[in-house]
Amino acid sequence: MSTPSNPHNGWAKTADEEDRVEKLIRSSGCWDNHISVVDCMGDNGDWRKCQTELQSFKECMQKNFHNVRKQQAHVEAQQKKN
């Protein structure tokens, strides 16, 4: 008897979890960087050979995180004024 393939690629517990992570990455503006990492790992089978792609993705996500935090701080400051 064969084992059915996992539709969530092994890391996501549910389709909703996978969709949530995909949505977060897409909204970050780093989707292309993410795809570069996935492609590199698929081609090489070893994340250590994808350091350039990983670093680029990391920098993009960090930049996005800092921008989101600045926006949140601005909104919170505006709410305190009102």
Domain ranges in the chain are: 28-81
pLDDT for 10 equals 54
Between residues 9 and 67, which one has the greater pLDDT?
A: 67
pLDDT for 77 equals 82
Dump pLDDT digits (tens) for 11-63.
557 777 778 888 888 888 999 999 999 999 999 999 999 999 999 999 999 99
Model confidence, pTM: 0.63
Show the 3-state SS of the chain.
CCCCCCCCCCCCCCHHHHHHHHHHHHHHCCHHHHHHHHHHHHHHCCHHHHHHHHHHHHHHHHHHHHHHHHHHHHHHHHHHHC
pLDDT band at residue 78 using 50, 70 and 90 as cut-offs: confident
